[in-house]
Chain A
Amino acid sequence: MSKPTEGPVPTRPPLWRNIVVIKWVAQLGSLIALVWLAYVLITQATANLRATGIPFSWDFLGEPLGVKLSEGFNTDPESGLEALSVGMVNMIRITWSGVVAATVLGTIIGIARLSSNWIVSRIANSYIEFFRNIPLLVQILFWQALIIGVLPDLTPDMEGSRWLFASPKGIAIPWLIPQAGRWQYMVLLAVGVVVARWTYKKRIEILEREGRETHAFGWATGVFLVFLIGGWFAHPIAGVLGWLFQALAWVAGNLPVISFQWLMGGLSLALAAWFIVRYMRKLRSPAGMAKLTDDDYFRLGVAGFLGIVLFFFFVSGAGEATIIRVMGRSLTYKMNWGFEPLFNFLATKYDFSGGSPLRFSLPEVEVPTNFPRYASDAGNSMTPGFVATWLGVTLYAAAFIGEIVRAGIMAVHRGQSEAASALGLHRAQSLRLVVLPQAFRVVLPPLGSQYLNLAKNTSLGIAVAYADVVQVGQTIFNQEGQTLPVFIFWMAFYSSVSLFLSGIVNYYNRRMELVER
């Protein structure tokens, strides 16, 4: 090591002692080692699978399976992809209804825990301690055992309609059954939500400008009701969308592939350039450009690299093949998927036809041959698997949500509710007007992760033969032996669900924070 005197003798350290070099070599080295390990594992797996005679393949997605599903919009799917999509829809169905029910129940329990009424808070507390400490699977199996073992079976003399049936064959309740017009009606409802929101904002603006009560919420509700009721009769208007979808289908099906390729390639380059420009602008201040650190160089490098790689991917043959598949122009699989078939499908749903979009219907028992069963087209008959899973995930999640709500209320409780009572509000009023809105902000992030847990927990329905995506997947790999593709499919599906859910939570989180300032 040379000893510089006071004079300017700038020295460069040797590479192996330079911390910046060491830092990046270690990181890139680990990255390369990992990629290499993944490569070795995949090679190994490919070889092993070939040796067992079932090479890795996605063909089952398009091939007829011959499996029957216990429930779903299509219990007799023609191909693997169709079966899996039935499973996905079933999973989303149970998650959605579970989230709604668990939120309502959990909020009630959370508030009840803070009640001054001893017995109410005690019961809420026992509920939480009870349901939280029993494994969810045990709970689901328990509900199934109750439904199968305790409820009385259907008898032939029960034939006919009632408001409620409960038997080992499942539970049947009245339902609004969607009819052909529901696609058009849904569009009108969505428009209604947007217009109602816009109205709300406008009324609030007027309130702020003129300082008079404008009943913003009432107006918004009214506007939505207009769409809700008016749409019931006017929904054929939405049939114009049919033309739009036809046009889109034409674009997806007939535009030259090369144009898509260049569009996507250009987009990826533009995205990378936009990132780089934005990043550089962030580093510039009135005092001049900041000196770039190694982290900055890394980020800019990665952005540029990714942009260029994506560009070459899209303009290459692989990009061409991908686009052909995504657009739905290649019919390698019998399952017709891609943008073109999707738009064609949607186009058939929007056709100016009238009729009520929903039909109210009571459940009904029919006795075709001495064996009573639920009529399939009346009411909503839920299988024991669905009821057990739904009850399980809902009651389980409600216990956790109750705790979250309680913690949220406690977090804002003290000073705020004292201030509210100093203003002369009742306790119930202060809860509703002051505490709960603020608690919502505290509660939201943990609530989001509970929703995610609930979504994942529905996979336990497999234990009671509920045909969700995991159960369908398992059926498929038991039959076809394609374990890895099914696992990759699960990964992709659940990752998208969790990305979607956390996206929503983050969006609201950010909005809440903005409101605060």
Chain B
Amino acid sequence: MEQMTPPQTAELAPEKPRSGPWAWCRENLFAGDTWGPIAFNAFLTVAFVLIVLNLMGFVTTYLFAAERRWAAVTYNMKLLMVQAFPQDDLIRIWVSIGIFAVLVVWSLASWEFGGQISVEKMAQGVRAAFVLVFLTGIMHHGEGAASFGLPFLRFDNPADWSSIRTWIELASLAGAVAAHFFAQAAHRRESEQTVPILVVPVLGMALVTLALWTVWLPVPEGQFDETTARIATTTARPWTILFGVTILAYFVGIFLHRQRPKLMRRVLISAWILSYPIIIFVIQRDPILDWADILGFGETPFLSSDLGTLLIFGILGSVVIWVVGLPPNRAVTGATVGILGVIVGLMSFAFGDGPLWSTVLMAAIGLALVAAAITIHEPVEMVRAAGAGLAMLALIIWFVPMPFVYRTFMVALALALLSAPVFGGTEQGRANLVRAWIPISFLIVAAFLLGGSDTSLEFQSTTFLGGFNLTILLAISGLALSLPAGLVLALARTSSLPIFRLLATGYIELVRSIPMITWLFFGSAMLTAFLPSGVEFDEIVRVVAAIAIFNSAYVAENIRGGLQAINKGQYEAARAVGLSVVQSTSLVILPQAIRTVIPALVGSIIIAFKDTSLVAIIGLADVLLIARNFVPQQSDPNFQGTLTQMMFFMALFYWVFTFTISRLALRYEKSIGLGER
């Protein structure tokens, strides 16, 4: 198709007349005829300016009053972030943050995130910020202030405050004027000057780093004796190193992206999935936990250690899935049966106390599964095999004495095997299945490390997890569990099969109609009652389960929105070229649906993050509970009665996080909106 070339001499639009500040005010603050007479608009403007200025004055006066003890925040920062994590092992936390930061910047580099922001706009933003500081300073009417400052400008005497205020006023005024002229200069340029948008967060981080080294706050020493100290005594150095590493990593990421873009993306996705269990269970695991239990070289026999379990199920399971995924062929039957026999044999060896019939039963089930998997020619027939296999598995789960982790593994492996013929057949499908299986087995083992009991291992409790660390753990774990569950629910709810639809709808509506806090009570106080006697999970694990129950209903509704947005013709076309129901759904419908629901899913992520604060009510020591109860009520009299300012801090803290995520999501949404067509 030839492209139409537009006429060469297109007329340029007349340039917009430059508007000065007065014209701008006339247009935007005191305009007539749109909302009634000028008087109405002028009244609104003046009234709201006064309200805002007074509010700012009140807030700053409160924040910088002499009685405020902001050291309650800085001094307790470690408590807020990681609660009782051992001081000597804090490097683990820093390593985790480092991994996270590197993954983030590499993803930014790999998906070419960014865009440009014009210098003029940036200067205007800076100007507005300075003006705001200036106006707030005018409205500030406190008599004194808590002593804080920069090393060269330190003041400990509240009386110094008025002169400092003058300095701040002068500085902000100067800054505003400078930014104004900068903006003017940028405007006058012929071509629009731009810088990458990533410069903005980098500048922000640089400011934080600078503040950590230079800003001083009073820190209580002993009972009531205050001295000033840098706001961060232990975090400045690691934070600076982290800052440097992050920036370096970004450029390395850009380099890698240019070399092998596709490979890098694939590796990054796996790295994101694996980073979660690695950070939580390997890097941040309870330092007291004996590595012998993991490796199995100490008192624990190798086969009941973490590593042994991982080897049996992760590697041998992968092999089985790989073989079962082969196109139907009698020759592989023997091989598969043999491998499954090995697994079953190993397991009965590992837990010799199980009765003989359980071993026999397990072998029978394994054979049935394999036979079902291999004789399947049409994928929809899988339903039958699934029914038979699952019913038998359910039997084994409840009646055969076996560590719970192995029961879970049996179910997971069976599910993977049952789906193997559908995705299998092709090399790619089988590789995908194996790839999915490895992180699953990793997750199961890790989950039992953290929270399971009734295994052959004894574990420390999870009390070392706390603070903001716990908040993030809960948010991510809850989501990781609720995404697949939500997917299944959404598919069931949009299915043409009435009973599935009914069940999914019932679940979703019931869960959604009940407040989250009651689900948390359910998880923390009632879930244990439903488990077989002797099986007990740590409270954190139970709460994660409750969060997953709740979130999955919301995620399901989001995905359903995406599914409904897809043309029915897509499904018909997929069926018409011969794909099965499951293949049509997983290869054609879901990839499109997921793409359309990403913005809504980010919304769910934000909500999930905000909702984790509710665990404070059931007494888990997340950052909110520490800020509200531990700090203002702890025995150190320095911080008693700091409740209000701690809540100020919490509001700001959460706001910064959620606002950042939502802005990133917005930007992403715009970028796919532009990129698609």
Contacts and interface: CB of A to CB of B under 8 A. Distances in A.
Q: Judge: A and B partners, yes or no.
A: yes
Interface of A: 16-17, 19, 22-23, 25-31, 33-34, 36-37, 40-41, 44-45, 47-49, 51, 115-120, 123, 129-130, 133-139, 141-142, 145-146, 148-150, 295, 298-299, 426-428, 452, 456-457, 459-460, 462-463, 470, 474, 477, 483-484, 487, 490-491, 494-495, 497-499
B49 interface: yes
Contact of A491 (B380, B510, B610): B510
Given A29-B387, A494-B515, A149 B613 contact: no
A475 to B, nearest CB: 12
30 contacts: A26-B383, A29-B387, A30-B500, A34-B503, A44-B532, A47-B533, A48-B533, A117-B35, A117-B41, A119-B49, A119-B52, A133-B654, A133-B658, A133-B662, A135-B613, A135-B624, A142-B648, A146-B644, A149-B643, A149-B644, A426-B36, A456-B514, A459-B517, A463-B616, A470-B517, A484-B529, A487-B526, A491-B514, A494-B518, A495-B510
B394 A33 contact: yes
A129 B659 CA distance: 8
Contact of A295 (B28, B398, B498, B532): B498
A503 to B, nearest CB: 12
Contacts of A463: 616-617
B391 interface: yes
A137 B383 CA distance: 45
A41 to B, nearest CB: 5
Given A16-B384, A133-B654, A460-B617, A116 B28 contact: yes
A230 B517 CA distance: 46
Contacts of A428: 35-36
B44 interface: yes
A130 B517 CA distance: 23
Contact of B515 (A115, A145, A456): A456
Interface in B345-387: 380-381, 383-384, 386-387
Interface in B573-625: 606, 610-611, 613-614, 616-617, 624
Given A120-B45, A460-B617, 6 more contacts: A31-B503, A123-B52, A142-B647, A149-B641, A149-B643, A490-B514
A26 B650 CA distance: 50
Given A137-B617, A138-B613, A474-B521, A25 B387 contact: yes
Interface in B482-524: 497-500, 503, 509-510, 512-518, 521-522
Contacts of B518: 459, 470, 487, 490-491, 494
Contacts of A26: 383-384, 386-387, 497
Given A27-B497, A116-B28, A138-B647, A462 B617 contact: yes
A119 B624 contact: no
Given A28-B499, A427-B35, A138 B651 contact: yes
A44 B617 CA distance: 28
B628 interface: yes
Contacts of B647: 138, 141-142, 145-146
* Majority-rule SS of A interface residues: helix
A323 B498 CA distance: 33
Interface in B316-354: none
Q: Which of A23, A138, A141 has the most chain B CB within a 10 Å cutoff?
A: A138
Contacts of B617: 137, 460, 462-463
Nearest to A26: B383
Contacts of B651: 134, 138-139, 142
Q: Number of contact residues on B: which range applies?
A: 35 or more
Given A119-B45, A123-B48, A137-B617, A27 B498 contact: yes
B48 A119 contact: yes
B530 A487 contact: no
A33 B390 contact: yes
Nearest to A499: B513
Contacts of A295: 498
B272 interface: no
Interface of B: 28-29, 31, 34-36, 41, 44-45, 48-49, 52, 62, 380-381, 383-384, 386-387, 390-391, 394, 398, 497-500, 503, 509-510, 512-518, 521-522, 525-526, 528-533, 606, 610-611, 613-614, 616-617, 624, 628, 641, 643-644, 646-648, 650-651, 654-655, 658-659, 662
A268 B518 CA distance: 34
Nearest to B388: A29
Contact of A116 (B35, B513, B662): B35
Contacts of B391: 29, 33
B44 A483 contact: no
Contact of A145 (B384, B516, B643, B658): B643
B650 A142 contact: yes
Given A123-B48, A133-B659, A146-B644, A45 B529 contact: yes
B503 A137 contact: no
A132 B614 CA distance: 16
B384 A138 contact: no
Contacts of A136: 610
B98 to A, nearest CB: 27
B517 A462 contact: yes
Given A133-B658, A135-B610, A456-B514, A117 B31 contact: yes
Question: Which 4 residue pairs spanning A and B have beta carbons closest together?
Answer: A498-B513, A118-B28, A149-B644, A27-B499
Given A29-B387, A134-B651, A138-B650, A452 B513 contact: yes
B624 A137 contact: yes
Contacts of A31: 499, 503
A25 to B, nearest CB: 7
B368 to A, nearest CB: 16
B498 A49 contact: no
A141 B498 contact: no
A213 to B, nearest CB: 26
Contact of B616 (A33, A137, A474, A498): A137
A474 B517 CA distance: 11
A460 B383 contact: no
Contacts of B41: 117
Contact of B29 (A16, A41, A118, A487): A118
Contacts of B521: 470, 474, 483, 487
A417 B274 CA distance: 54
Contacts of A460: 515, 517, 614, 617
A254 B532 CA distance: 48
B394 A37 contact: yes
A17 B383 CA distance: 11
Contacts of B641: 149
Contacts of A427: 34-35
B36 A120 contact: no
B654 A138 contact: yes
A454 to B, nearest CB: 11
B380 A19 contact: yes
Nearest to A459: B515
Contacts of A48: 528-531, 533
Contact of B500 (A27, A148, A452, A487): A27
With most chain A CB atoms within 10 A of its CB, the pick from B28, B516, B648 is B28
Contacts of B522: 487
Nearest to A294: B498
Contacts of A116: 28, 31, 34-35
A129 B658 CA distance: 10
B159 to A, nearest CB: 25
Given A117-B41, A142-B650, A135 B611 contact: yes
A27 B646 CA distance: 54
A49 B529 contact: yes
Contact of B384 (A22, A34, A40, A491): A22
Nearest to A31: B499
Contacts of A426: 36
A127 B120 CA distance: 26
Contacts of B48: 119-120, 123
B644 to A, nearest CB: 4
Nearest to A52: B529
